[in-house]
Each structure stands twice: as C-alpha cells, then as structure tokens.
Structure 1
C-alpha cells in the first residue's frame, strides 16, 4: 500500500480493503470481480460463476520458467502437443514457428484466469455485462442480458485462456502477471495474424487479441490533486510479462510504446482488465491490515441508530444492506442526486422522464433528474476505510465514505475497446461525468459532529 502520510482530507488514500476470512501463511491473496457488491457467485444460464477467488499455496508447486527456444517447422507439433512440456509457440507466415519451452519451477505457483471452464483454469470469468442489471443490485438498467450471448447477438471479449499469475511460494508479495494462459496441451499458441515481434535480444514476444491491462496504485499521481488528471494509468502486459502503453484500440495491430520502468508485479490494489471484466488483486497482508466487514456494518448501524427522518412522510428511515426494488417500503431512503437530501418515498413534486424517477426536492426546491434508493456498498474490498457513510455514487446510490467515492471516481475503467470511464465498483454502473458522487444530507440532527453531519438547511 502507498504511504498516505501528509495527505489532506480531500486527497484519496490507497484502498484500505477488508475481508472476513482469516488469512494464514498459505494464502497469497484474493481476486475480486468488480460489479457484484459482496456476492460470492452468480448464475448465468445453467452455470454458476464465482466472483471471488482466494489464491493459496499449492500442495505441489506448479510454477514454470523459460528453459529452451526451438525454431521448428509449423507442421512439426510434437513439442506443442507434448503435455509434459509447457510451451509458447509463435507461428509465422513462412511455415516457421518459434517455440519457447518452459521447465518446472518448484519455487513458484501458477494460477490461470480465463473464460474457459477447463480444469487448468483456476478462476473462470465471463463478461460482467451478462449479469447486469438482472443479476445484481444495480439501480440503473444499462446493460444487455445473458440471453443475448445465447442467441448469438453478442460475443464475449474475454479470452478463453486470458492470463496467468506466477507467485513466489516463500514471498507472496512477488506475484507477477502475464498475458495468455496455457491450454489443455500446456501450450500458448500465437497464430500468424496475432500481434508479435522479435526483441533486440532475439527473444520473441506478443500480445493477446483484446489485451490484458494492468493498473497499479501510483504515489506520484496520488499526491497530484489536479482535477482533470486521471488518478492512475493503465498499461498492457505482454505474454512475456513486459509492460507497454495501451494500444489505440484493444485489438489494434500496432503495439504501444514499451514502458521499462513499469513492472508486471502485482501490488495490493492492482486492477487487471480482461476486456469484459475487471479484477481487483488484494494481497493477504493488505487484507489483514484492512477494516473488516463487521466494521462497515457497525458504521451503517450507527447511522440507522440516529433515526434519520423523512421530512415529507415524517417517519424514520432505515438504510438496508441490499437494495430491494420490488417492494415499496416507506422506510427505504432515497436520495435526490442534485442536492443530496435523503428522504423516504413520496409523490410530492415527483415526475418520470424517460422512465427515470426525478423531481423537485421539497427541502431545498432544487430539481433533480434522478431520485434513487440508497443502499450499502457491501463488498468490503472496495472500501478505503470504515468511516462515516456520508456519500453515495451517482447514479446508482451505493453508499461509502468520502475517501472511497473520491478514489473510485478518479479511476477510468476500460469500457469496450477504446473508452475509459469511472464506474461504481459495487455495481459497475457508469458514473455521472460532472457529478460522480453526492454528499448525503439527512434530516434532523441525531448525531454528534464526530459521526455524521445532518442538516435542516433549506
């Protein structure tokens, strides 16, 4: 984690994540998919897919390291088909192939991520859009559903064997990301049309079709509070683990500029994007230092214990852990996203434009295009602290601390092939451009100044 000493209250610190699991010496860390708000699994068609994966030290090491380079004819596939060997084969259009053979490395463990459900894939990941909004608690429907993939109207952009991670068995902080994973024959095959090149030292390298992007926490960017500057920068990882500037588009035939000062070694809080799903890496040490889920629940309990009131219905509001969009509950709080006033559900000044609930706030008379339910951001790994839950993402209404919403609103996540936009990490909804989050204003001062600020101001 980056040292945040000397930062003022408006400068976001690196994530202070949390997890309820008791981590021992055999646990390296955890991979968490963005967009599922604490759920451990989701169902797509007849299959269940995990949204989190704990990486543990294997009983028998399965790490690998480069050992031999073969120049062979493309028709000679004996080495490639030999399951006792791990190979990366680069095929050219001259009926020649460069095959890099890997030997066993007893000092490392290897884990693979991809869309395939094959045995050698440790974390099967499919496109986030397949689950949203039907299979999440996202507030604003904006994504297609899983039946589009079944009908063939949309195809996945995640590779079947997307990437692999090698972790030192004695030092879990030495975890390295590489593009592409090995298939059932222990081979990575780079075809003639794929982007590949020969380096100055004669070594061959390449990129996968849609690429594997990586984002590290960066102290220099963190200390620079320039409003219009992205907080962090994405890079692309090659098959050999080198780091490059992202291509103009994800599948471009021209690689980006080599960035030798960047490393493919994962840090606590590193993000990995597979062009369809984004994964957060949390180290075991980072999780141990972080606030636990029970601390976030206590923060929510303190807020509810203050008995915030709806100024229209004159009843007590209760903020839930999960959003319930099917039942009308007068105690469910809603927020006017323009002004931040929190109230119960009522019809005073309410209108529906294009299917969106909006209206004039009865407290300050400011018009809001959206009025959305408030709910807790339940994935503790995305919270920076367990402090006051006095802000919410716009437009979804997931609650978190000021540090948390400020942090995530400054990280542009890849959207498709060439766009980068901030999202709510809990539901993966795109954040509003001009106002990505809002400060919450509850009515009636039931708290002291050290907990949360309530307001009776018009």
Structure 2
C-alpha cells in the first residue's frame, strides 16, 4: 500500500485526482532531529491493508509452520515454552488500515522513531489500526509485524491465556498509553496504562520489563482519543484527532504570532536595542545535547530570566536579573513551532522552564503536570521541566 507519510501531493497522471483522502489523525514526535520527521499523518490508504485474527493453532503443527513461513500471511507466535508455541493466523480485513511504528527502517514500518537510548525502542514497537468507515476510530496495539509479516513473542515475554482461550502478551519494554482527563488541555491528566499485543489495557508492571503483568483495567479500551500520549520506552508520541487539531494554531497563525511579537519591538532594558524572535530555531539534535553549548545565537535573540520572566538580550551579567535582582538562570527564548503540542490557539505568552520554549498559557500549564511518577517534560525538546517553576509569564519592555 502507498506510504501515507506524504506532506505534499506528488504529480499524478490522472486528470481527476478525486476527493482528498480521509485523515484519521496525526502523531507528533517530541524528539525532532534533522534525521526524523516530527509529524506523521495517518491518511486512508487507497487499498485497505488491515488484518484481523482468525485461526488459532494451539501447537506448532506443520500447518502452523506453513503460516509462519509464508511472507504473504500475517501471524503472531506465542512461545509458551521451548517446545510449545501457539500460532494465531491473521487474515485481511477490508474494513481497516494498518500503520506501524518502530525503530526499524524496513518497509513494514510507516513511522521510524528513535530515542536517546536507541536500543530501548523496539524495531517493531506498535501498530495502529484505523477503521475505514465513520467515525474512523484508531486503536493501538503493542508490537508490530516484521518484514516477514510475523510477530514473535519469546519465552521471556509476559504472556497468558485469556478467559476465552486465546493468547495475549506484553512486549519486553512495553507500550504505555495515557489518555487525557476530560479532554486534551484538561487540568486533570490521566493515568498511564499498558496496552497488550491484542489491545487489552492493564495497570503498569512493577518494572518496565517485568514478566508479571499488571491488573486488567475494566471499562478501558485501546481507542486513541485526542491528546493520547504513547510511551515507547524513551520515545513519546502525541495523538491528535483531526477535530482536535482544528482547535490548535495553524503553522501560519504561529508565524503571525512571531511577527506580531517582533512588530511590538521588544527591547533589551539594559542595552536598549530591539530584540527579535528568529523565524526558525536552530536544527538542534536533541539526541546529542552535548553538541549544543557552543551554539552561535543571533545577537537580537531574546533571553529570559526564568524565575521572574523579564526578557533581555544576552547579558554577561551572571545569574541575577538586572531589573528585579532575582537570582535566576537566563536562557534564550524559542517559539514552540510544532502546532500539535498546543492545546489552544491563544497567543504565546509563557516560557517553559528551563528550556525557554514559548507557548500559550494553557499549553504551558498542561505540559507542566507531573503525571503519576512520570516527570513533566517540555513537548518541544523533551527536557525535564523545573519542578518548582515549570513555566513563567514573559515580561517584555517595549518603546511605547
């Protein structure tokens, strides 16, 4: 099936290209580098490629072996013991589209991701199955099919037989999902849970790779909703629905906000020169933070003292704000330009601490929540937020 990761249309020999394909939603990757996409659009495929479970082979019979060895058929193998393997056949499902995420660059993977510790991210981490008919629901499952269309759960993987006699399992490092409280942007974050290979939801294990699964959560499903976070052991993905994303600022609106900030001619209150937000932040590789200290900044770059919010140009003043004498670290300001991380379309007025990414107040408030043992991170760069002052309102001095 055609790869759906197309941000612009390509030349087409057809005179009538037909209606635009349905967009199921978008995934936003919070560890952008020049080597990786930060946004993945899930579009309805021209031809469905979904699969669904079918025949269960309770032992590794010749028929089961034939299924596993066929590159034309999908299957999941559960290695219960060294001598006992359960194989589940998967057959084509014309009602769904399948999308896969992982570290592998092989063709079965639609969205390639990696983290600070690449080995922690599975080559075939997870899969998302989208319904081709309204309301175009999207569901997430742990593990993805490899280039032989197989998923193999080894002896060390946590696995069990379900009440209806089928098999299920958790992957080695797990796929965690957190749905927002009453909605994306809510002040009440949800709970992190783990999704299984077959899509059931469980409480977290004692450790990430423990063989004993958590308790099954009744009334919960693997349905992705606007604002769902997916943790692939070092890589965080944010799911935005088409409807929810319509409430976020467009790229054009973010650019207009930047121009508006600059048109107000903010000044350095010490040097009395005009400050200006750059059109694009530098292409920092957040996987290699040690390469950024020597970064050369524009002399007009705005800086902020993180405890008080006073905006200055770069000063060799030390860690004390010259305006209010507050002791504080001073960092450069960057406008957060990935629209998917915004919870509203309001003007950028606050900076996340200590990285200096600028966004709207509600966006800063939302991402500053510690979520039940998981430290709050800046969505734009993955740096841990200050536990005491995770964000600050910016105070500009203008000539008016």
TM range (shorter): 0.7 to 0.9
In the TM superposition, what whole-angstrom CA distance separates every residue of 1:237-261 from its partner, at most 9, and x where no partner exists?
A: 0000000111122101111111121
Alignment CA distance shift 1:74-1:91 (3 Å): farther
* 2:60 is the counterpart of 1:73: yes
Q: Tell me the equivalent position of 1:134.
A: none
Aligned partners of 1:285 and 1:428: how far apart in 2?
26
Aligned partners of 2:257 and 2:21: how far apart in 1?
30
Cα deviation for residue 99 of structure 1 reads 1.1
Alignment CA distance shift 1:69-1:344 (3 Å): same
For residue 295 of structure 1, give the secondary structure of its aligned residue in structure 2. helix
Q: Tell me the equivalent position of 1:111.
A: 99
Equivalent residues in 2 for 1:398-409, closer than 5 Å: 398-409=357-368
Of 364, 370, 376, which aligns to 1:422?
376
Of 303, 306, 311, which aligns to 1:334?
303
Of 428, 431, 441, which aligns to 2:385?
431
Q: Unmatched 5+ residue regions in structure 1?
A: 1-19, 44-48, 130-153, 351-358, 414-418, 447-458
* 2:179 is the counterpart of 1:183: no
For residue 420 of structure 1, give the secondary structure of its aligned residue in structure 2. coil
Equivalent residues in 2 for 1:31-430, closer than 5 Å: 31-36=27-32, 42-43=34-35, 49-73=36-60, 77-93=65-81, 95-127=83-115, 129=116, 156-171=119-134, 173-219=136-182, 231-323=189-281, 326-348=295-317, 350=318, 359-368=319-328, 370-410=329-369, 412=371, 420-430=374-384
Aligned partners of 1:156 and 1:232: how far apart in 2?
28
Cα deviation for residue 33 of structure 1 reads 0.4
Aligned CA-pair RMSD: 2.4
Normalising by structure 1, report the TM-score: 0.76
Alignment CA distance shift 1:210-1:376 (3 Å): same
Cα deviation for residue 220 of structure 1 reads 8.5
Alignment CA distance shift 1:155-1:375 (3 Å): closer
Q: Tell me the equivalent position of 1:29.
A: 25
Cα deviation for residue 74 of structure 1 reads 7.7
Aligned partners of 1:389 and 1:401: how far apart in 2?
4
Aligned partners of 1:207 and 1:401: how far apart in 2?
38
Cα deviation for residue 199 of structure 1 reads 1.6
Aligned partners of 2:348 and 2:210: how far apart in 1?
42
Aligned partners of 2:121 and 2:26: how far apart in 1?
20
The answer on whether the counterparts of 1:335 and 1:374 sit within 8 Å (CA) in structure 2 is yes
Aligned partners of 1:212 and 1:328: how far apart in 2?
38
Alignment CA distance shift 1:64-1:222 (3 Å): same
For residue 27 of structure 2, give the secondary structure of its aligned residue in structure 1. strand
Cα deviation for residue 221 of structure 1 reads 10
Cα deviation for residue 235 of structure 1 reads 0.8
Q: Aligned residues, how many?
A: 373
The answer on whether the counterparts of 1:236 and 1:244 sit within 8 Å (CA) in structure 2 is yes
For residue 114 of structure 2, give the secondary structure of its aligned residue in structure 1. coil
Alignment CA distance shift 1:222-1:424 (3 Å): closer
Q: Unmatched 5+ residue regions in structure 2?
A: 1-6, 10-18, 283-293
The answer on whether the counterparts of 2:31 and 2:38 sit within 8 Å (CA) in structure 1 is no
The answer on whether the counterparts of 1:74 and 1:96 sit within 8 Å (CA) in structure 2 is no
Aligned partners of 1:188 and 1:323: how far apart in 2?
40
Q: Which has the higher contact order (CA 8 A, sep 6+)?
A: 1
